[in-house]
Structure 1
Amino acid sequence: MFRFSNVSGRFGKTQVFAVLMIFANLLVAGSETIGRREVASMLKTLDSELENREVYISRRRTSIDSLKNVLKCSSISSDDRLSTLLMLGDMYNAYNTDSAVSIYDKGASLARDLKQDSVAVRFELRRLTYLPLLAFISQAEDELSRIDFRSLPKGLQEEYFDAARQMYFYIAAYYVNYPDVYDRYMAKSHDAQKSLIGHLEEGSPRYMLNMGEYYYYNKEYSKTQALAMLLIDQLQPEDNLYARACHLLAEISKARGEHYAYEYYLALSAIADTRGATLEVASLQELGKTIYLNGDVQHAYDYLSVALSDAVECNAPLRILQSSQVLPIIERAQKAEIRSAHIRLYVIMVVMAVLLMILAITLYVLHRKNRQMNRMALRLEEANSTKDVYISQFLNLCSIYMDKLTQFNKMVNRKITTGKVDDLLKITKQGKYIEEHSKEFYDVFDDAFLHIYPNFVAEVNKLLRPEEQIVLREGEKLNTDLRIIAFMRLGIEESSRIAQMMNYSVYTIYTYRNKLKNRAISRETFEGDLMNIKSVS
């Protein structure tokens, strides 16, 4: 890092400043372009520093308490008391304006009592510098006008012009909305600064900063930037001159339309103010305003709230006025943004509620479908089981008939062999054999069919007129009418086939079918309706 002390010992003032400008221009040429990412990183650092601001304020308060304890010592000399009061007033500067002005006033009174007029003027100059912050504008101008700078020693002339520069700058800030008045006071501030520069050591940080501000006022931005870049490379980040140099770089960036650089250097200046526990600040206010205009309402509100809080704690009406003018606008914007966020939240909640309802309905439908599928699977399983039983009974019936046929064949063979043909004729003529076996067939058929169609009788009666419905006798499963209908439901529609299976004549089956149609509610659709009777349900 470049240090001024190393240069000033070897070169004259003009040579020193020329070397500094060369280094400054090299710094500017080598500086990186500032973009959105750099600004975001710097704002993140600022947020972190603001979270620790109480730590920095506590350190400054400790230093103030330490100086107060020194003043309480009865053994302290008058000169030491005056120097301690000056340090205490400076420590209150930009921290508590009321206390600073009060301490300077006390020091001026003590210096006059001690006949140390030069010291009294120094206290008075520092006091009047900050009177405009308390809105004592006329009083500050009157007090400055009563001091004849030509009668002051060189060191106090430097302080006189520095006080005038700062005082007029503060006064101008009150009239920012009145261009004529504002320009008049700013011209006075820069005239004082021009005189101040002639009293400062060339190449010193204060000289470079004031020279940079003077260049800026005359719109020589490249020279201003070069000096400010060199200053922030040399000074400590918590130094008040560092904060002013960063603010100067921000103003240059604003004048050039470099938006990201403007925000970046304002944030850097605000960080320096925060680390130095400076409560009378402008950078944080300006940063809050500019990022509000760029749509970052939350950050703007946070920064301006801190700036207003600091201004109130510092008792600086100028800064309070500046913050309070824009803060309500940002607060309204924040409330509007919060309302908008609430509306978005409500919309999301409604959409989620609708989606949850749709999901619930979908789950309910799926559950019902699943239950239906389970019931269908169960019915299918029952149907398969019933059909297995039916097939088993059918096979059993076939086995019985095969066995009966074998026995009948043996009996016929025996009767013929023994010459009992007449007995055989008698058995076949009576029909008892066929009747017995038909009854056994009907029992098996009835059981199997009702397994498949358990509600068959009730479903058939729905198709018949009330007075013509079928009533079974006790212990009877199916009767002849129902068996004929059962064969029709199984797809055996030909009367000849039904007659063959039931051992009736075709005419008898035809007669039964015709009578059943006449008993139906709808004769024309009776047989079709029979086919719609469902199996296992």
Structure 2
Amino acid sequence: MKTLLTACILTFSFSLSGFSYNNLDSLLVELERTMSKRAVFDNAKKLRIENLEKLLKESDSTSLQNNYFLVSEIIKEYEKYSFDKALIFIEKGLNIANTLNDDNLKKESQLKLAKLLVTSGRYKEAIDVLHEIERHLLPKKLLDLYYYNYKEAYSGLSFYTTVSNSKQSYSKLYKVYQDSLQQQLAPNSNESLALIEKEFRDNREIEKALEINSKRLSKVALGTPNYSLITFERSLLYGLNSNTNEQKKFLILSAISDIKASVKDNASLTELAMILFDEGNIESAHDFIDFSVEDAEMYNSRLRFVNISNKFSVISKAYEEKNLEQQNELKKLLVFISILVLFLVLTIIYIYQQIKKLSAARKELKKANDQLLSLNEKLSFTNSDLNRLYSELSDIDRIKEQYIGTFLNLYSDYINKLDTYRKMVRKYIVSNKTKALLELTKSKQLIDNELNLFYENFDKSFLHIYPNFVNEVNNLLKEDQQIILKEEESLNTELRILALIRLGITNSAKISKILRYSVNTIYNYRVRVKNNAKQRNTFEDEVKKIT
């Protein structure tokens, strides 16, 4: 019952954040949207800091206790935002404590300094600071931070040292200070639960660790440093379990929270970049690792630079190789397009000749029809049939003329666009602006515009042939599952897939190439619309019969 309650609380807290946590694609879109708004969150952080610094400047210099409080608040803001700035204000706090001759405030400032050094990977320096503090003189409220700093320092030294004897020594000291901290903490505090979770994680008791993590996660909100840390630690658990999808999900949530909280000393986005790189998604991996490098530079953490540097070089190299490959493909494509343009010109000439022949044939047919009209009443039935035939042929001619005109205009536009693009590419290559050309080719705007134009022409042409297609399809669907188009839509994706099936294109792979969706997406659309049909097994056969 307790586990069920925890799961319910966690599910509820997830639902408040506003996007689907079961859909990795949606989460990645939300992450990219949040990344694009980094400046907004950073500006809010800067504004809070500026207000605190303004209060500090305006504060009465004789009110050192108040100044110390303001400096402490500024340190909290800078702690995960800028190492250099945090260090400056910790030293200011230490100076105020010395001026006040307050040993407790002095020790508190030293512990803050040690924590900053530990979190930035400066373990030896942190231990040197801690050695200056006499533990038996510390007040009880500072013992937590004292043991925590030692624990984290020896944990880091144990993890990064390559000397086996030193590693064993550091591990023992880590265990000692971990036990001391555990005894000092309140049983259900986040810090106590974090230690229990880590012990389960180290022992590979993943389910127990996940249960503890769920309790911690239910107490924090998205956009806070604690949420970022807890979701990151949850991703580590799923990584040990080889559950890559869940690992990516919580790395994304952690990264989103880091950005919203302006946490520059972060690791989630770097780990996510490496997973995406291993999966072959080099472009997203490069974007994420590049973003992480900017954060690391902003924070100035040696530890974070060390963690990122090797991964960054591997991803950057792969990204450059991919771009070079794309450039080569672009050159081949330009050659192919040039050949295609020549073929199109020849095709247009041939079609034009056929139009002239068709026009001459139509005139001859009209002449013959006029002669038949002069026959006597005995031939009226035959004459009526010929009139009907003529009417049908005229309609076909008009349709052909309309589609040929559309075809000519479309390919004429493509020729002009290709020629313009060719000149622009040549200009960039001649002027050795390959980087600018690379940036230009990154944009998908041109493809998106052409794809929208393709959809518009396809919809218009298809509905001209089958004007009642949408109504006929809805007649085949259940009443509560019929397709309702928006005002600006002629057809939507589901109807375009059915339109291609009506035209005889039933292979999902071919449909995916035409509409530029993945095969899985096409398959899912087809399955969904079949499930909504009155007769699921014969639905597509009935679509093929629509006139």
- Structure 2 residue aligned with 1:79: 65
CA displacement 1:177-226 (0-9 Å, x = unmatched):
77776676466445433322222222223332333223323333222211
> Cα gap change, 1:186/1:252 in structure 2, threshold over 3 Å: closer, same or farther?
farther
Partners of 1:373 and 1:269 lie apart in 2 by 67
Q: For residues 490-529 of structure 1, what are the structure 2 equivalents within 5 Å?
A: none
* Preserved contact between residue 273 and residue 281 of structure 1 (Cα < 8 Å): yes
Counterpart of 1:151 in structure 2 is 137
Distance 1:197 1:352 in 2: 69
1:113-152 equivalent positions in 2, closer than 5 A: 113-132=99-118, 136-152=122-138
Give the aligned partner of residue 98 of structure 2. Answer: 112
The yes-or-no answer on 1:92 pairing with 2:72 is no
Conserved in 1, the CA contact under 8 Å of 2:123 and 2:156?
no
> CA–CA distance in 1 between the matches of 2:362 and 2:55?
97
1:51–1:29 CA distance, 2 compared to 1 (3 A) = closer
Letter in 1 for 2:130: L
Q: CA deviation at 1:365?
A: 4.6
Q: Over residues 508-533 of structure 1, what are the superposed CA-to-partner deviations in whole Å (9 max), with x where a residue is unaligned? A: xxxxxxxxxxxxxxxxxxxxxxxxxx
Q: How far has the Cα of 1:115 moved from its partner?
A: 1.7
- 8 A contact 2:6–2:218 mirrored in 1: no
Contact kept in structure 2, 1:126 and 1:163, CA below 8 Å: no
* Alpha carbons of structure 1 residues 201 and 63: separation in structure 2 relative to 1, 3 Å: same
Query: Equivalent residue for 1:257?
Result: 242
CA contact (8 A) 1:209 1:241 kept: no
User: 1 CA distance for matches of 2:282 and 2:305?
Assistant: 20
Q: CA deviation at 1:65?
A: 1.2
Match of 1:229 in 2: 214
User: What is the CA-CA distance between 1:314 and the residue it aligns to?
Assistant: 0.9
Deviation string 1:410-460 (CA, Å, 9 cap, x unpaired) is xxxxxxxxxxxxxxxxxxxxxxxxxxxxxxxxxxxxxxxxxxxxxxxxxxx
**C-alpha contact (below 8 Å) 1:28/1:226 kept by paired residues:** no
1:329-340 correspondence to structure 2 within 5 Å: 329-340=314-325
The equivalent residue for 1:299 is: 284
The 5 Å alignment of 1:398-413 reads none
The CA distance in 2 between the partners of 1:180 and 1:100, in whole Å, is: 34
Structure 2 Cα separation of the partners of residues 29 and 180 of structure 1: 45
Q: Measure the CA separation in 2 of the matches of 1:101 and 1:370.
A: 81
Q: Is the 8 A contact 1:21 1:227 kept in 2?
A: no
CA distance, structure 1, for counterparts of residue 158 and residue 327 of structure 2: 43
Among 5, 13, 25, the alignment partner of 1:40 is 25
What is the alpha-carbon distance in structure 2 between the residues aligned to residue 362 and residue 117 of structure 1? 91
Q: Corresponding residue for 1:485?
A: none
| Equivalent residues of 2:10, 2:218 under 8 A apart | no
- Residue 165 of structure 1 and its aligned partner are, at CA, apart by 2.8
User: Quick check: 2:227–2:254 contact (8 Å CA) kept in 1?
Assistant: yes
User: Pick from 281, 289, 297: which aligns with 2:266?
Assistant: 281
1:305-384 mapped onto 2 (5 Å cutoff):
305-365=290-350
Contact 1:285-1:303 at 8 Å conserved across structures: yes
Q: Distance in 2 between matches of 1:120 and 1:102?
A: 15
Q: Whose Rg is larger? A: 1
Whole-angstrom distance in 2 between the partners of 1:179 and 1:363:
77
Cα 1:124/1:346, change in 2 over 3 Å: same
- RMSD over equivalenced CA pairs, Å: 3.5
Does the 8 Å contact 2:223/2:258 carry over to 1?
yes
Is the alpha carbon distance of 1:193 and 1:280 closer, same or farther for their aligned partners in structure 2, counting shifts above 3 Å?
same
Distance 1:43-1:127 versus aligned 2 partners, 3 A rule = same
Q: Which has the higher contact order (CA 8 A, sep 6+)?
A: 1
CA shift in 2, pair 1:188/1:42, >3 Å: farther
- What amino acid does structure 2 have at the position aligned with 1:308? V
1:53 matched residue in structure 2? 38
How has the CA–CA distance of structure 1 residues 372 and 104 changed in structure 2, closer, same or farther, with 3 Å as cutoff? closer
Distance 1:106 1:174 in 2: 32
Partner of 2:416: none
Contact kept, 8 Å, 1:301 with 1:334, in 2: the verdict is yes
Equivalent AA in structure 2 for residue 61 of structure 1: K
Higher mean alpha-carbon deviation, 218-227 vs 134-143, is at 134-143
Q: Which amino acid aligns with 2:115?
A: T
Give the Cα separation in 2 of the matches to 1:371 and 1:46: 58
Q: 1: distance between equivalents of 2:266 and 2:241?
A: 23
The verdict on how the C-alpha distance between 1:347 and 1:368 changes in structure 2, with shifts beyond 3 A counting, is same
Question: Could you say which residue in structure 2 is the equivalent of 1:200?
Answer: 185
1:238 & 1:376 partners in 2: Cα distance?
Answer: 74
Give the direction of change, closer, same or farther, for the CA distance of 1:261–1:92 in structure 2 (3 Å limit): same
Change (3 A) 1:52 1:30: closer
* Distance (whole Å) between structure 2 residues aligned to residue 85 and residue 285 of structure 1: 32
Give the 3 Å change call, closer, same or farther, for CA 377–135 of structure 1 in structure 2.
closer
Residues 164 and 37 from structure 1, CA distance in 2 versus in 1: closer, same or farther, beyond 3 angstroms?
same
Task: Report what 1:102 is aligned to.
Answer: 88
Structure 1 residues 255 and 29: alpha-carbon distance in aligned structure 2, compared to 1, 3 A threshold = farther
Contact 1:97 / 1:133 at 8 angstroms: preserved in 2? no
Whole-Å separation in 1 of the counterparts to 2:11 and 2:260:
29
Give the Cα–Cα distance (whole angstroms) in 2 for the partners of residues 40 and 186 of structure 1.
40
Change (3 A) 1:231 1:137: closer
Name structure 1 gaps, 5 residues minimum. Answer: 1-18, 381-537
TM-score (norm. length: structure 1): 0.60
1:27–1:226: 8 Å Cα contact kept in structure 2? Answer: no
Alignment of 1:13-32 (within 5 A): 23-24=5-6
Task: Point out where structure 2 has 5 or more consecutive residues left out of the alignment.
Answer: 15-19, 365-547
For 1:459, the equivalent position in structure 2 comes to none
Contact 1:190 1:214 in 2 (8 A): no
- Of 341-350 and 288-297, deviating more is 341-350
Corresponding residue SS for 1:235: coil
Measure the CA separation in 2 of the matches of 1:70 and 1:106: 15
> Counterpart of 2:146?
160
Q: Secondary structure at the match of 2:23?
A: helix
Are the aligned partners of 2:123 and 2:154 in contact in 1 as well (CA < 8 Å)?
no
Change over 3 Å in CA distance of 1:46–1:366 after alignment to 2: closer
Q: Is the 8 A contact 2:111 2:149 kept in 1?
A: yes
Q: SS in structure 1 opposite 2:204?
A: coil
Q: Measure the CA separation in 1 of the matches of 2:170 and 2:44.
A: 36
**For the structure 1 residues 70 and 365, does the alpha-carbon distance in structure 2 shift closer, same or farther, using more than 3 Å as the test?**
closer
Distance 1:43 1:367 in 2: 50
Contact 2:120–2:304 (CA<8 Å) still a contact in 1? no
Question: How far apart, in 1, do the equivalents of 2:216 and 2:361 lie?
Answer: 87
Does the aligned pair in 2 maintain the 1:20–1:203 contact within 8 Å? no
Residue identity matched to 1:222 = E
Q: 2:50 aligns with which of 47, 65, 68?
A: 65
Counterpart Cα distance in 2 of 1:30 and 1:61: 32
Counterpart contact for 1:273–1:279, Cα < 8 Å: yes
